[in-house]
Structure 1
Amino acid sequence: MSTQAPPATPAARAKGWRSGVVLTQMKRTKEQELAWLRTVAGELATTTLKQLEDTLPWYGEMPPGRRSAVGLVAQNGISSFISWYDDPKSTPWIASDVFGAAPRELLRSISLQQTLQLIRVVVEVVEDRVKADNASLREAILLYSREIAFASADVYARAAEARGLWDARLEALVVDSILTGESDDELQSRIAALGWHGHGEACVLVGTSTPSVDVDQIRRTARHLGADVLIGVQGKRLVLVIGRAEPEHSSTALPSDAPEEPLSFLEIAKQLEFGFGEGQLVLGHPVDSLVDASKSARAALAGVAVARAWRNAPRPVLADDLLPERALAGDGMARRTLIERIYEPLQMHSPELLTTLWCYLDNGRSLEATARELFVHPNTVRYRLKRVSEVIGWDATGAREALILQSALIVGSIAAGNTRGRNADSPRP
């Protein structure tokens, strides 16, 4: 038994006919809108360029080539909107459609904020040409502008991520060059490419790294202290190259909470201690510029190797306070420092001061015993020790500094004896 549909009534046939007419009209209306948009696309692009010149000062200041590239992006945006309005499923291709024709240099010359201003101008120009009663087209414009804004943010985010990865690799290369002392003519340009804000003196801080180094927090803290840092993580070792962030131009301002008086490198290192793990933390001596930071790095690395020999070493500890341990470990730089900064200045200033210091240290830092050996009054010994401190900057009355001074006298006398021996062995003319 077959089942047949009942014959349509006149009312039903009329209702179906009216629905078909409405659908046809809707389809024809969208086709008409697309045809109209394609017709006025060139006019919209021209109006957009004029509006850019009138409303965006940075656009008029750009070179002609860059302005042409921006205009091409705006024109592609209008064409892409028409294609998207015809097929909204093409959303994933918005970024390539709009920004594909733009040169790569455009990302470096136009910020994300300026790109959003460009999008706003284009949207305003297109909206002005849309009739007030055409709500569907206006809604499509708003939806597309949202999509293009997100696409723009994605383009800039990818560029920033790539730039960040490149900067990290370049920073690691610079820090490694400083540690190894393999500086070349390209080091200065690499430092400039990193946006280094430090000027003048620099020094190196070396310690152990934590499982997860908070690089951003270290940079923020350093900037608030009026300093700039280069950070290198090498396995279990964390290296900071510190420089005072002094602006080159008066228009460049430091953070409002930066100290008025520049802090010493030791004070800066104490504030950055939180970024290091447990263990030795050694600060190298200051050098004149970042290019010479390899000297500070060698001193800091040598100090880290022997810092455990000082039982009550502070944290951080200066590499110069570890000169005795470094000299005993065979560090040639430490021996030269002891000779050049302690032994030779005393010898050239007054042999009497050198002799008094020898006697004072040999007699267990006893004023009376030293005075008896030198046949002088104890006050004379006090005066000479004060002069020693003024000449070289170390106080012989302190236990740790006395060790440094005694090491300098030993190393200096050995070097002087070797020099005299070589002179005696040399053939006479």
Structure 2
Amino acid sequence: MAVELEAEEIRRRAETGRRLKAGIGTLSTAILTRLDQRLPWYRAMPPADRSWVGLVAQSGISSFVEWYRTPSMPIRMVSEIFRAAPRELVRSISLTQTLQLLRVVVEVVEERVPDLARPGEQADLREAVLRFSREVAFAGADVYARAAEARGTWDARLEAMVIDALVRGDAGPELSTRSAALGWRSEGPVAVLLGQAPQRAGRSVEQVREKAGAWAEDCLVGIHDDRLLIVLGGCEDFQQAGEQLGELFGPAPVVLGPQVATLAEAGASARAAHSALRAVAAWPGAPRPVRAEDLLPERALAGDEAARRTLIAEVYHPLAQAGGNLLETVSQYLDCGNSLEATAKAMYVHPNTVRYRLRKVAEVIPYDPTRSRPAFVLRCALVFGRLAAQAPAGELSSSHNPSPGAW
């Protein structure tokens, strides 16, 4: 008797399975129509993506029919449903949207149960639909989890490549292309923050990125050797951001590279920051963070050719071209130990004349010779400017200049 009942159940299930198979086309059409009615984001999708969604839906229905007709088939095979679509579809449709799709599919199938199964089989069919849809949801979640994991791994590698390019001093379109692949969207200025990598346990790159992201539109984070590098893009106040992010670094000095217009030029900011970090020990009283531009004298003395040229171009040449004996006055003032009276006596002018010229100096360049730190910058600029003026063309340019990639 039990064998006869089992045989009858198999026969009924097979009959329902044949009805399901015959109705696959009708179900697919009904599902796509319902998707178009219920889901605005589906209506807005490009035709190619809509076509792939339809293929996935039809694959799901076919898989359900095969499983229902062959109960011995492992239900785990529902993962094959998602293999019908390209990987790009996972980026076009979120997991939430996938579940909305599944809900519509189940809703349509349940409505058609009276047409697909006889009264004695309807309850079993509904239960089978719910069970299968649950497995499809789990399989979909697994697909998205794997895609997110793979994307996270690839993003980490890509970010490491961008940071490595900055370390080497590379720049140009390739850097921008790789950063765009990471999702870099900022069109604002860019600057590099560089310092010792954190020594505290548990400080992950992701935590650093989260804190840095609160101060900039976009950011990239990487650790190279024992140094932490943060690229900030679209920041309203880089100096303030650097001060707030200083806790992310180790106890050593932190340097803020100069602002550049685009991410493609970030290599210049990174080179300046690295040069400044090498030279910052020569200024014990440097703030934290210290701007790379504020370490021009130390960088130039350490062999940074770019810093030497900047001192000549932005300090020495403007004074030499301003006239009014400004260059001579500054030179004499520094040689006289910053004494107005001694400078006036040496130049045979009144102290007020010296005072007036020094004020003019502070208007021509952003350095006040009456203050100690700016006076040091001016003295170094004068030294390098005089050497450049006396040296044969190209001689100083061939002087030692450490490789920007020699971290």
TM-score, shorter chain, exceeding 0.5 = yes
Q: In structure 1, how many angstroms separate the alpha carbons of the residues matched to 2:129 and 2:380?
A: 80
- 2:32 paired residue among 49, 60, 63: 49
Alignment partner, residue 17 of structure 2: 34
Q: Which moved more, 1:226-235 or 1:306-315?
A: 226-235
Q: Does 1:238 align with 2:228?
A: yes
**Kept in 2: contact 1:363–1:369 (CA 8 A):** yes
Q: In structure 1, how many angstroms separate the alpha carbons of the residues matched to 2:346 and 2:124?
A: 106
**How many Å apart are 1:314 and its aligned residue?**
1.5
- 2:192 paired residue among 204, 215, 220: 204
* Counterpart mapping for 1:324-403 below 5 A: 324-350=297-323, 352-403=325-376
**Kept in 2: contact 1:209–1:277 (CA 8 A):** yes
**Kept in 2: contact 1:343–1:412 (CA 8 A):** yes
* Counterpart mapping for 1:71-110 below 5 A: 71-85=54-68, 86-87=70-71, 90-95=74-79, 97-110=80-93
**How many Å apart are 1:24 and its aligned residue?**
5.1
Unaligned runs of 5+ in 1: 1-16, 246-261, 423-429
- 1:66 paired residue among 38, 49, 56: 49
Give the AA of the match of 1:244.
Answer: G
Q: Does 1:137 align with 2:132?
A: no
Q: In structure 2, how many angstroms separate the alpha carbons of the residues matched to 1:209 and 1:381?
A: 48
Q: Which has the higher contact order (CA 8 A, sep 6+)?
A: 2
**How many Å apart are 1:281 and its aligned residue?**
1.2
**Kept in 2: contact 1:346–1:353 (CA 8 A):** yes
RMSD, aligned α-carbons: 2.6
Q: In the superposition, relative to structure 1, how do residues 29 and 420 fare at CA in structure 2: closer, same or farther (>3 Å)?
A: closer
**How many Å apart are 1:158 and its aligned residue?**
1.6
- 1:124 paired residue among 93, 103, 107: 107
**Kept in 1: contact 2:172–2:265 (CA 8 A):** no
SS in 1 for 2:391: helix
- 2:144 paired residue among 127, 152, 156: 156
- 1:311 paired residue among 248, 265, 284: 284
SS in 2 for 1:288: coil
Q: Which moved more, 1:32-41 or 1:138-147?
A: 32-41
Give the AA of the match of 1:309.
Answer: A
TM-score (norm 1): 0.82
Give the AA of the match of 1:385.
Answer: L
- 1:224 paired residue among 214, 218, 222: 214
Give the AA of the match of 2:233.
Answer: G
TM-score (norm 2): 0.86
Q: In structure 2, how many angstroms separate the alpha carbons of the residues matched to 1:322 and 1:62?
A: 54
Q: In structure 2, how many angstroms separate the alpha carbons of the residues matched to 1:305 and 1:421?
A: 26
Q: In structure 1, how many angstroms separate the alpha carbons of the residues matched to 2:47 and 2:275?
A: 56
Q: In structure 2, how many angstroms separate the alpha carbons of the residues matched to 1:150 and 1:378?
A: 86
Q: In structure 2, how many angstroms separate the alpha carbons of the residues matched to 1:371 and 1:30?
A: 111
Q: In structure 1, how many angstroms separate the alpha carbons of the residues matched to 2:338 and 2:295?
A: 21
Alignment partner, residue 399 of structure 2: none
**Kept in 2: contact 1:219–1:228 (CA 8 A):** no
SS in 2 for 1:312: coil
Q: In the superposition, relative to structure 1, how do residues 20 and 192 fare at CA in structure 2: closer, same or farther (>3 Å)?
A: closer
SS in 2 for 1:231: strand
SS in 2 for 1:272: helix
**How many Å apart are 1:223 and its aligned residue?**
3.7
Q: In structure 2, how many angstroms separate the alpha carbons of the residues matched to 1:148 and 1:378?
A: 89
Q: In structure 2, how many angstroms separate the alpha carbons of the residues matched to 1:325 and 1:375?
A: 34
Alignment partner, residue 269 of structure 1: 242
Alignment partner, residue 174 of structure 1: 162
Identity %: 50
Q: Which moved more, 1:210-219 or 1:118-127?
A: 210-219
**Kept in 2: contact 1:214–1:275 (CA 8 A):** no
Alignment partner, residue 389 of structure 2: 416
Q: In the superposition, relative to structure 1, how do residues 135 and 277 fare at CA in structure 2: closer, same or farther (>3 Å)?
A: farther
Q: In the superposition, relative to structure 1, how do residues 227 and 402 fare at CA in structure 2: closer, same or farther (>3 Å)?
A: farther
Give the AA of the match of 1:91.
Answer: I
Give the AA of the match of 1:270.
Answer: E
SS in 2 for 1:277: coil
**Kept in 2: contact 1:365–1:397 (CA 8 A):** yes
Give the AA of the match of 1:90.
Answer: P
Number of matched residues?
A: 387
**Kept in 1: contact 2:361–2:368 (CA 8 A):** yes
